[in-house]
Amino acid sequence: MPYKNKEDRRRVANVWARKNKTKIYAQKLARKAKKAARPKPDRCEVCERQSFRITFDHSHATGKFRGWLCHSCNIVLGHVADDPNILWRLGLYLKQIEVYGRKL
């Protein structure tokens, strides 16, 4: 299909990408879930809350499957860059506030 100009070609490419992005992502997730060591549960493996948005958690360094987390827990790991020391220090921070009676 010949395009009139670059903008026309970009517009067509953007429409295709928006239309197919969700479908392609769902197929990719299904393939990953098949390779996972355990089936997708209806509860988060960390906070144990039931969620409709259970996500495939993986290591960004190795790409290996780690578990099934709710969206919130997965976002927390992303925000601390998968660093357990930061999570540990955040826990200490919350405990300190609890012990000394300070209010947030």
The whole-chain average pLDDT of the chain stands at 83
SS3 40: coil
Say how far residue 8 (Cα) sits from the centre of its chain.
34
pTM: 0.62
* The CATH homologous superfamily of the domain defined by 38-104: His-Me finger endonucleases (3.40.1800.10)
Residue type, 52: F
Segments of the chain assigned E as strands: 54-58, 65-70
C-alpha 83/C-alpha 94 separation (Å) is 17
**Amino acid identity of 93?**
Y
- pLDDT, mean of residues 49-66: 87
Q: What does the pLDDT look like over 11-43, one tens digit per residue?
A: 777 777 776 776 777 777 777 777 777 888 999
Contact 82, 75 (CB under 8 A): no
Amino acid 30: pLDDT: 73
Distance (Å, whole) CA 64 – CA 90? 26
Q: CA–CA separation, 104 vs 97, rounded Å?
A: 8
pLDDT band at 47 (very low <50, low <70, confident <90, very high): very high
Average pLDDT over residues 56-80: 90
Say whether pLDDT at 65 is over 90. Answer: no
